Amino acid sequence: MKDRADSEQVSPTAFATGYFWYRHGLSHPGLVGPEGERLYRRFRLLMGLVKGVSGMSIEALMLARHKGIDAILAQHVEAGRVGQVVEIAAGLSARGWRFTERYGKRLTYVETDLPHMAALKGDLIARAGLQRPNHRVVPLDALLDRGPRSLHELAKSLDPKQGLAIITEGLMSYLDPHTASAVWRRIAGTLHAFPFGVYLSDTYVRSDRYGLGGALFRGVIQRFVRGRMHVHFENVPQATRVLQAAGFGAVTMHAPRDLEATRELAAVRGGDRVRILEALATAS
Ligand SMILES: C[S@@+](CC[C@H](N)C(=O)[O-])C[C@H]1O[C@@H](n2cnc3c(N)ncnc32)[C@H](O)[C@@H]1O
């Protein structure tokens, strides 16, 4: 993905994933977008095709990534390390709503996405009566270094005394390596300004071997978004080097079998093909 116009092609995928979360009991009916059910039906056909051809369950992979990020975020919130979250490219995911429901005033949650998606999400939340004072949706473009829609600017509105988690889910694979590294640098740089900082994301390493199922899935999604999808890392040591070069300290690439919340999903082929990246701003 080279520029912002390309990046916008990714937005419709958020309708399909939003409906997917809803179908799996991870969202609210009010957060399902206008195109959700129709796009989800196409997505389900694709998942069925991948499963039939390769035995790989994209469903298990998606659930492992979503629940894995939830589980690690919850650990940080419950330990009192994180009091605020910025989710980049949140799409129609219900994590912001679920976490502010669960933790109330203990957590400030800022969801962000490109302007049209952020506006839609804000409308859906308002229409469904799901607003909370500590939960907001704002426009943000992850590709901007500075300016009103940048992470840099948003960070100024946060509490400098509270630990911060920044999340990306389902975004980084759409970015080319150069663009992705710049996003990671912006995230690491932002986290350094807070007493505790952690970045959480779904991520993929070639050594996890995606095979025919992975190639088929990637091929169809690439046609849909009219852009390339990228697996950024060869293996865990190389991922660690790249992320540390971007400014992170300790890096853990959790396998779903290592997290209680995702262990059952990891037993399904596909559920073991995603890693939950947890990168701290500091070395420990
Ligand atoms: C595959 S969806 C994932 C949505 C959500 N995180 C989920 O897992 O359901 C990708 C999202 O990335 C957003 N996006 C694409 N380019 C972006 C950018 N440059 N900055 C912020 N968000 C972007 C799209 O609008 C879309 O909502």
Give the tens place of pLDDT for each residue, 174-210.
Answer: 999 999 999 999 999 999 999 999 999 999 998 887 7
Q: Of 4-18, 25-39, 122-136, 264-278, which gets the smallest average pLDDT?
A: 4-18
Do β-strands 84-88 and 108-113 pair in parallel, antiparallel, or remain unpaired? parallel
Task: Calculate the CA 170 to chain-centre distance.
Answer: 5
Ligand 1: which residue has its CA nearest to atom 4?
Answer: 91
151: tokens are 């992470």
Q: What angle do CA 169, 82, 139 make, to 5 degrees?
A: 45
> Quick check: 269 and 63 in contact, CB under 8 A?
no
Ligand 1: which residue has its CA nearest to atom 22?
Answer: 89
Closest atom, ligand 1, to C-alpha of 117: 25
Question: Which regions of the chain does DSSP assign to beta strands (E)?
Answer: 84-88, 108-113, 135-139, 164-168, 197-203, 251-254, 275-280
Q: Kindly report, residue by residue over 225-281, the tens digit of the pLDDT.
A: 777 889 999 999 999 999 999 999 999 999 999 999 999 999 999 999 999 999 999
pLDDT band per the 50, 70, 90 thresholds, residue 83: very high
pLDDT band per the 50, 70, 90 thresholds, residue 24: very high
Output phi, psi for 255, to 5 deg: -85, 140
Closest atom, ligand 1, to C-alpha of 143: 19
pLDDT band per the 50, 70, 90 thresholds, residue 2: very low
Q: What angle do CA 26, 32, 38 make, to 5 degrees?
A: 115
Ligand 1: which residue has its CA nearest to atom 23?
Answer: 89
> Quick check: 263 and 236 in contact, CB under 8 A?
no
Q: What angle do CA 263, 269, 275 make, to 5 degrees?
A: 55
The torsion defined by the Cα of 52, 54, 57 and 62, in degrees rounded to 10, comes to -120
Q: Kindly report, residue by residue over 93-135, the tens digit of the pLDDT.
A: 999 999 999 999 999 999 999 999 999 999 999 999 999 999 9
| pLDDT of 171 higher than 70 | yes
Of the candidates 258, 277, 272, the one whose C-alpha atom is nearest the C-alpha of residue 207 is 272
Task: Calculate the CA 132 to chain-centre distance.
Answer: 22
- Ligand 1 contacts (CB < 6 A) are 7, 10-11, 13-14, 17-18, 88-91, 93, 113-114, 117, 140-143, 169-171
